[in-house]
Amino acid sequence: MNKIAVVGSGYVGLVAAACFAELGYSVTCVDNDLAKLECLRRGEIPIHEKFLPELVARHSGTRLQFSDSLAEAVRSSTVIFIAVGTPSKDNGEADLSYVESVAREIARSINGYKVIIEKSTVPVYTSEWIRRVMLLTTRTECEFDVVSNPEFLREGTAVTDFLYPDRIVVGVNSERAAAVLRDIYSPLTTGAYYMSAQRVPEPDRATIPPQLILTSAKSAELIKHASNAFLAMKISFINAVASICEEVGADIEQVARGIGSDSRIGPQFLRAGIGYGGSCFPKDVSAFRAVSRQCGYDFKLLEDVMQINEEQRRRFLQKIRTALWTLKGKKIGVLGLAFKGGTDDIRESPAIALVQGLVSEGVQITAYDPAAMKRARELFNGSIHFAENAYAVAAGADALLILTDWDEFASLDLKHLHELLEYPIILDGRNLYTPEEMERHGFMYISIGRKVLPLKQLADVPAQ
């Protein structure tokens, strides 16, 4: 059976390593952060990801090993996945220096045929550059293939996305490498894993078994960036439509339901809100735009996607100003700091951007997030306060903001919230409630793409 090395223990690398171990492989997860490796060996998981702690605990020390020696991992493995970071440069291009560094070290340690697999999100031509760098580094004949195998993992559901994927895309330029990847993913494509009594529970509407799509390496690299750009476009599109709904008095939830019922479109990613964020969409849209420019194509649509996303945050900030008149000295409660529910990731989070904007205008913020407060404390460094739950956030606040779509924020005791708030004002950036529900409880309620329930209506609301 093929032994696997996974280079990088971030969101993609750690999930991939744990899931390959779950599929029965001997896996070495490599990282140069010694403190992080010690935490992982103790079973301390640095990211909030459902099922990941259980998989690491189940396989650590047996099928799953953690190491700081890339050379040793390369020599003992046939398949090496590169899952290191590819952050954005100032010009929007992906910084591939970490990928290049890993490729050079792999080349120095080759001791037989290896399959080197891009798992990081990288622009087209990266597989060719990895091959070129490795050949220049070894300066000798060596047997290896470079494969593109993009990940399509959503933070918060990454484990089930890996084990129950919609599709597995493999970009190969040789039949030898294709055979290796078919074998690696055979527990999924044959359905064998799904017969296991200890398997991770399947999500709703899982595709079993998933299809394996074989393409060229360049096509696979483009599939990843194009997929994320398209999903970001759907989010920006529905947010743009929400702005029109606000002007004409339509309801974006009704409009989105009508659009999403079309089988050619589908309902996914048609949720109006305060915009997309996270480690993927902003970076990948920007990188795809940079790639298109390098190829001589002006992909203006991507510019519009990014502009609408930024504008959505500015529009919500203006909603807050309109609701409260002046901001300086106001006390505002914030529910949610992660870029979406189910994760502790605050990278490019629209919630974080909004809180930073409010702090800069002299607002006193008290915030709560079920998973992201540790990261947020490090970021804000004492400039905002944190509470232990949603109700503590609301106590004495001039308004309450809902900025992340955690399930628990959609089922709050509204009567209790009304009693706790200094003024009964809620601005819902995720449309977790309906205007009718908020009207029954006596709130001034402002959401995205729907009617505003103003304070002037509250006098006629019966006491709860």
DSSP result, 292-311: HHHTT---HHHHHHHHHHHH
Q: Indicate yes or no: pTM above 0.95.
A: no
Look at residue 91 in the predicted model and tell me its pLDDT: 85
CATH number assigned to the domain covering 312-460? 3.40.50.720
Distances (CA, A) of 269 to 14, 233, 236, 244, 320: 26, 9, 9, 18, 25
Look at residue 456 in the predicted model and tell me its pLDDT: 54
Of 304, 271, 275, 246, the closest CA to residue 403 belongs to 275
CATH class of this structure's domain 4-215: alpha beta
Catalytic-residue membership of 19: no
Asked if residues 267 and 256 have their Cβ atoms less than 8 Å apart, the reply is yes
* Each residue's pLDDT expressed in tens, for the chain with a length of 464 residues: 679 999 999 999 999 999 999 999 999 999 999 999 999 999 999 999 999 999 999 999 999 999 999 999 999 999 999 999 888 888 888 889 999 999 999 999 999 999 999 998 888 888 999 999 999 998 666 799 999 999 999 999 999 999 999 999 999 999 999 999 999 999 999 999 999 999 999 998 898 999 999 999 999 999 999 999 999 999 999 999 999 999 999 999 999 999 999 999 999 999 999 999 998 899 999 989 999 999 999 999 999 999 999 999 999 999 999 999 999 999 999 999 999 999 999 999 999 999 999 999 999 999 999 999 999 999 999 999 999 999 999 999 999 999 999 999 999 999 999 999 999 999 999 999 999 999 999 999 999 999 998 875 444 544 44
Look at residue 171 in the predicted model and tell me its pLDDT: 96
Non-local (6+) Cβ contacts of 101 within 8 A are: none
Look at residue 125 in the predicted model and tell me its pLDDT: 87
Q: Taken in order 23, 25, 26, 27, is the CA torsion positive or negative?
A: negative
Of 300, 244, 205, the closest CA to residue 256 belongs to 244
CATH topology identical between 4-215 and 312-460? yes
Given the residues 19, 142, 280, 295, the one annotated as active site? 280
Look at residue 462 in the predicted model and tell me its pLDDT: 45
Asked if residues 323 and 425 have their Cβ atoms less than 8 Å apart, the reply is yes
Peptide bond into 267 cis (omega under 30): no
Check if CATH label 1.10.1040.10 holds for domain 224-308: yes
- Number of Cβ within a 10 Å radius of residue 417: 21
Of 436, 360, 341, 358, the closest CA to residue 398 belongs to 358
Question: Which position has the token pair 């729907």?
Answer: 450
Beta-strand pair 64-67/364-368:
unpaired
Would you list the domain boundaries of the chain?
4-215, 224-308, 312-460
